[in-house]
């Protein structure tokens, strides 16, 4: 974001007024210079307070009432900012946002909403930076004239949900420590040179070049893999350390907010700085300004500086302008309007195309009628009738209720999420699917060759809905001239003609995605040989893959013998779908994952049990058992070569259950969840779970 205007009312030193940072021509200067007056410094503080927001400012630990002119009144602060997409907002419009807070004389702070704010002008929306905001959203930095440093005490793990306060704390507290320079440079070097992280390497390269040019540092070896930063900081002159410390801190925070961007230091943000000229001698101040320009070319810098320092800044630097995002018309999504007599086919849920709707589409098109496909609870004007299909319950039931309010009696519903007994009429069920309804399928076919399953697993609806295995189609009807087939069969290998089906797949060179997995228990040597010859594929048909299920920890060694019939190697892609949260204990879950990790080429995709019917999962008397911490340490050490994001879902589910059961967090789980992905959300996760469960020791998180 950029800061465009600051409005304040009731401030102790600067009273009421506004601070317009745009030029008369409407441009945004890269550098804005303010004199060393009490009101100018207060304006920096007011800008930081409103940009920090009511969620973070109280964490400064300061008596906030000191900024109020009237102890019995209130201080009102508003900032007009321009957000950047997708950093601050997910869309391009409106191009202006208003941030507003109110601080009372007693030190209370609250966001200002609705009519409590002044009129900021047309097409300006009110935003409130909150605890759960993305780490990069509403990013700004602020520094005071003095600072301390972390020395071995800095934390880089985001475990504090309010870590963003450190971006502006030193403006208010000269004793607040900045980033540990040696630890930060060592971490940055490790990411850049050992782990080959492109953003880190770009940041380190820019630092090395700029510090070598403007501070005279010998940085020629900083990008060497063997380089170590031990003793580098202590070898700098005092003036170099003063000038460099806040810049390294700013680099650290910019990287935190842009860990995956190729140029993380090109972050558009305000940097509010009180007396940066105190860091260096007046004659060296222009070089320091050029250094900031080089490191953060897209930053908006607002400084309070002495007259001598201000006069030394070259005119060419002061003439620089920053691009302000232009206004764009927001695209209004209009509800589609159906032609007279058209039929709406609503796919309420599910990622795959809905086969029942594809058959209905064929039926109505053969009658010469138009069909309109919608998703979720999207609604259509002027539809003659509507048919909605839901696979799941829960949120899908709420969507169906809202669709019924719209279509009334003209809506017919069906699917597993509605009623297991409701089926398409036989004449429609027998029709081939209309692939034109889902152009995204491209050259892929979809459907059932067989339906049903002979087993009666208590968590599964297939035996109740479909009965025993039976053939319902053939390859010609399914493929309609295509060669890639997404097969939805419940348990293909349980059909008596399974070998013949597999043999036909081989002879016709059909690429098959066994979407609902295969039952490894039904594989013998002949079936294994046939399956190795079938061109099994993933859902997108971009690589070879085969899918099995493993919902129990029973008979694992027998399954190992069956698995060995395939002769898989580590170069194969063998996905096992594992259900959790039904009737397995933690020890059994560990046994399953340990077993799969021992199989060459195997990896796991985990799915939480979600009952389609209202029947609860069976109660597991002691899910965690006598040694939960030992089991958790083992389970987080079982690493698969791919699809570990799927395991994160299990870790989060397990972490919640652990906290609920024992009233504390498990450090091994939390550290594993945030080891690679969404690290900046760790503190918010801890705070949310601690608040929800009243976890006793969330702040002092330790592995147990």
Instruction: Give the separation between CA 644 and CA 341, rounded to whole angstroms.
Output: 49
What pLDDT score was predicted for residue 612?
60
Asked whether the whole model's pTM tops 0.85, one would answer no
From CA 493, how far away is CA 516, in angstroms rounded?
12
Report the pLDDT value the prediction gives residue 641, as an integer from 0 to 100. Answer: 85
Contacts of 322 (CB under 8 A, 6+ apart): 2, 28, 29, 30, 268, 298, 300
Q: What percent of the chain has pLDDT over 70?
A: 93
d(Cα 47, Cα 495) in Å, to the nearest integer?
71
CB-facing half-sphere around the CA of 32: CA atoms within 13 A: 25
DSSP state string for 642-675: S-HHHHHHHHHHHHHHHHHHHSS--HHHHHHHTS
Residue 463 contacts residue 456 (beta carbons within 8 Å): yes
- What's the confidence (pLDDT) of residue 134? 66
Q: Which residues of the chain have pLDDT under 70?
A: 90-94, 115-116, 119-120, 122, 131-134, 327-338, 611-617, 691, 694-704
Question: Do residues 514 and 536 lie in contact, with contact meaning Cβ atoms separated by under 8 Å?
Answer: yes
pLDDT the model gives residue 544: 96
Backbone angles phi, psi at 688, to 5 degrees: -65, -45
Tell me whether domains 1-329 and 343-428 share a fold.
Answer: yes
Whether residue 112 contacts residue 78, with contact meaning beta carbons closer than 8 Å, is answered with yes
Burial 662-682 (b: 16+ CB within 10 A, else e): bebbbbbbbebbbeeeebbbb
- Note the residue count of the chain: 704
Q: What dotted CATH number matches 343-428?
A: 3.40.50
Q: What are phi and psi of 633, to 5 degrees?
A: -60, -35
Domain boundaries, the chain: 1-329, 343-428, 552-607+615-704
Question: What is the second-level CATH architecture of the domain 1-329?
Answer: 3-Layer(aba) Sandwich (3.40)
Rounded-to-integer distance, Cα 121 and Cα 115, Å: 13
Q: What is the pLDDT of residue 345?
A: 95
């Amino acid at each position: 974001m950029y800061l465009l205007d600051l409005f304040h009312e009731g401030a102790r030193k600067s009273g009421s007024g506004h601070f317009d940072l745009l030029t008369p021509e409407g441009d945004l200067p890269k550098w804005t210079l303010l004199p060393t007056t009490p009101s100018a410094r207060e304006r920096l503080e007011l800008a930081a307070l409103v940009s920090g927001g009511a969620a973070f400012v109280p964490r400064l630990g300061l008596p906030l009432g000191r900024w109020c002119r009237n102890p019995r009144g209130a201080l009102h602060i508003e900032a007009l900012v321009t957000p950047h997409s997708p950093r601050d907002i997910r869309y391009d419009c409106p191009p202006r946002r208003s941030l507003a807070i109110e601080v009372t004389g007693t030190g209370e702070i609250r966001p200002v909403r609705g009519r409590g704010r002044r009129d900021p002008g047309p097409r300006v929306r009110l935003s409130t930076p909150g605890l759960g905001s993305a780490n990069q959203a509403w990013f700004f930095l602020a520094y005071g004239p003095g600072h301390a440093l972390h020395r071995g005490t800095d934390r880089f793990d985001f475990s504090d949900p309010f870590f963003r306060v450190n971006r502006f704390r030193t403006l208010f507290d000269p004793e607040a420590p900045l980033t540990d320079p040696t630890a930060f440079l060592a971490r940055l070097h490790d990411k850049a040179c050992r782990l080959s992280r492109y953003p880190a390497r770009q940041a380190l390269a820019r630092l090395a070049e700029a510090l070598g040019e403007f501070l005279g540092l010998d940085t020629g070896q900083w990008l060497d893999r063997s380089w170590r930063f031990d003793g580098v900081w202590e070898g700098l002159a005092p003036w170099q350390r003063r000038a460099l410390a806040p810049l390294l801190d700013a680099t650290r925070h910019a990287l935190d907010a842009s860990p995956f961007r190729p140029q993380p230091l090109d972050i558009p943000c305000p940097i509010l700085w009180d007396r940066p000229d105190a860091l260096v001698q007046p004659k060296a101040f222009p070089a320091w300004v050029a250094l900031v320009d080089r490191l953060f070319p897209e930053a908006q810098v607002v400084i309070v500086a002495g007259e001598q320092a201000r006069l030394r800044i070259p005119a060419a630097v002061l003439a620089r302008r920053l691009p302000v995002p232009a206004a764009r018309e927001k695209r209004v999504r209009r509800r589609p309007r159906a032609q007279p007599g058209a039929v709406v086919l609503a796919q309420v849920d599910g990622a795959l195309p809905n086969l029942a709707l594809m058959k209905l589409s064929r039926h109505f098109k053969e009658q010469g009628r138009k069909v309109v496909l919608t998703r979720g609870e999207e609604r259509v004007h002027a539809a003659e009738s509507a048919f909605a299909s839901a696979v799941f319950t829960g949120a899908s039931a709420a969507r169906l209720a809202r669709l019924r309010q719209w279509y009334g009696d003209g809506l017919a519903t069906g699917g597993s999420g509605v009623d297991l007994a409701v089926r398409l009429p036989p004449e429609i069920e027998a029709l081939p699917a209309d692939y034109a309804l889902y152009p995204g399928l491209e050259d892929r076919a979809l459907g059932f060759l067989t339906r049903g399953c002979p087993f009666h697993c208590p968590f599964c609806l297939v035996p109740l809905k479909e009965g025993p295995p039976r053939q319902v189609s053939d390859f010609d009807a399914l493929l309609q001239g295509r060669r890639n087939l997404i097969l939805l069969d419940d348990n293909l290998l349980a059909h008596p003609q399974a070998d013949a089906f597999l043999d036909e797949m081989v002879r016709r060179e059909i690429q098959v995605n066994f979407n609902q997995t295969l039952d490894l228990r039904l594989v013998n040597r002949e079936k294994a040989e046939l399956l190795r010859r079938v061109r099994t594929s993933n859902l997108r048909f971009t690589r070879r893959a085969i899918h099995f299920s493993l919902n129990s920890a029973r008979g694992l060694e027998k399954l190992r013998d069956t698995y060995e019939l395939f002769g898989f190697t580590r170069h194969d892609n063998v996905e096992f779908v594992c259900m959790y949260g039904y009737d397995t204990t933690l020890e059994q879950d560990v046994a399953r994952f340990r077993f799969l990790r021992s199989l060459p080429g195997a990896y796991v995709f985990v799915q939480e049990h979600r009952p389609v019917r209202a029947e609860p999962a069976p109660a597991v008397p002691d899910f965690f058992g006598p040694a939960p911490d030992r089991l958790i340490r083992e389970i987080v050490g079982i690493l698969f070569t791919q699809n570990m994001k799927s395991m994160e879902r299990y870790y989060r589910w397990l972490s919640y259950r652990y906290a609920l059961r024992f009233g504390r967090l498990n450090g091994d789980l939390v550290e594993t969840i945030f080891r690679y992905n969404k690290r900046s959300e760790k503190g918010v996760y801890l705070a949310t779970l601690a608040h929800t469960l009243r976890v006793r020791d969330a702040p002092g998180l330790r592995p147990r």
